Amino acid sequence: MSRNRPGPPRGRDSQPPPWAPELQKSLAEVAKCVPQINLAIEEVAEDNVALARSVRSVSDGQETLRTALCRELDSLRADVTGELQSQALKGYCRELTPVLSAIERMLSDVDLLTVDTTRQHLESLATTFRAALHRMGIERMTVNAGVDPFDSLVHDCVRTCTPEDSPVPDAGHGIVVHVQEPGYAIRGRVVQAARVWVQLRREAPSGHAEGEGESCDTTES
């Protein structure tokens, strides 16, 4: 004889498991966080875009800096080259200008040059030297005796004089009255100051011999 087993009760609603309410509560909390998570993702994406822009900007800035540095280096290279050329020309100037000055002094002394042919040769030689200096960029500085005041930047005072022994007695105090040797400049830079006489109103010390430098005080007493 078979024994019937009792089945689940019929007509009754099934009860939810005891952990279901807790799960629903957790899901509700997660659902509340979804908008915040989406917002955080959007912010991260925007930050990535901003970072990409910054990297691109830095790269552009580096390229600009590289171009500027190359330009500055080219300018510096040109300056150094020009300075080296100036130093070389300065040496040439110091070697050649005394020879030219000696020739020109000989030309101004009629006692030494009584033969016309000799004078013509010397004049030609002086012209050749002046042209050579000009080609090398060495220019003679203009000094107007009796007009220009003494300037220690371009003049070398080799003698002071008073109106009694001055070539230009009417010149004022501190005025250059005689150019013993002209000065020369390269690209506007003085490489050899003009050796000059300067007129003073006060009693001047004994004249210095040629070749001696003298500190010329043009301050009126």
Bridge partners (DSSP) of residue 196 are 157, 179
Within-domain flag for 153: yes
How far apart are alpha carbons 99 and 101 in whole angstroms?
5
- Comparison of pLDDT for 160 and 15, the residue scoring more: 160
How far apart are alpha carbons 160 and 200 in whole angstroms?
7
Number of domains in the chain: 1
Q: Which amino acid is at 208?
A: H
Within-domain flag for 100: no
Within-domain flag for 122: no
Within-domain flag for 173: yes
Within-domain flag for 193: yes
- Comparison of pLDDT for 166 and 129, the residue scoring more: 166
Tokens of 53: 């822009």
Within-domain flag for 206: no
Q: What is the DSSP string of 5-48?
A: PP-PPTT-PPPPPTTHHHHHHHHHHHHHHHHHHHHHHHHHHHHH
Q: How many other C-beta atoms lie within 10 A of the C-beta of residue 196?
A: 26
Query: Using one digit for the tens of pLDDT, what is the confidence trace for 102-153?
Result: 777 776 765 655 677 677 777 877 888 888 888 878 899 999 999 999 999 9
Within-domain flag for 87: no
Q: Which domain holds residue 151?
A: 141-199
- Angle, CA of 89, 90 and 93, to the nearest 5°: 85
Cβ-contact 197, 212 below 8 angstroms: no
CATH number for the domain harbouring residue 167? 2.30.22.10
Within-domain flag for 147: yes
